[in-house]
Amino acid sequence: MLKIKQSVRDAMIRLAKAESPIEACGYLAGIDGEARLLIPMTNVDHSPEHFSFAPEEQFNALKQARDAGLRLNAVFHSHPATPARMSAEDIRLAHDPDMVYIIVSLMEAEPVIRGYRMEGRQPVEIMLEITEDA
């Protein structure tokens, strides 16, 4: 399970809508199994079907998280026109078994958010719990 602050959930949805029709992307950072900060990243592919991070932004995201006393605990991206499940490309690029992979789908009237962990090369859906901001 990953807990996600309500403000982080809302920020992911806003970013996904703002970037549509391309995939929005970023990191979530937190501690103790809770995502407390969204770090938006640039989708350098500018694609509605996949995303890539710029290496210099990845370094800056890691530094931002560490400076805040947090660690990167999830990769977030949106699916503007497809369900919130990992695509074949998402699976191919998911290499970190400690990372949660969050997908925000805008396909339905209300956004759908799902999280996955990789077990070997298979994505396994995990529970996401939205928590109140303190």
- Can you give the residue ranges of every domain in the chain? 2-131
Walking along the chain (134 residues) 10 residues at a time, the average pLDDT comes out as 96 98 97 95 94 93 96 96 94 90 96 95 95 88
Neighbours of 15 (CB within 10 A): 20
Gap between the Cα atoms of 6 and 96, Å rounded: 25
21: cis peptide before it, omega within 30°? yes
Q: Among candidates 13, 19, 10, 12, which has minimal Cα distance to 43? A: 19
Architecture of domain 2-131: 3-Layer(aba) Sandwich (3.40)
Q: Among candidates 53, 36, 35, which has minimal Cα distance to 44? A: 53
The CA-atom distances, in angstroms, between 22 and each of 7, 59, 80, 104 are: 22, 23, 7, 12
Q: Which residues contact 110 (CB under 8 A, 6 or more apart)?
A: none
Model confidence pLDDT, tens digit, residues 28-62: 999 999 999 999 999 999 999 999 999 999 999 99
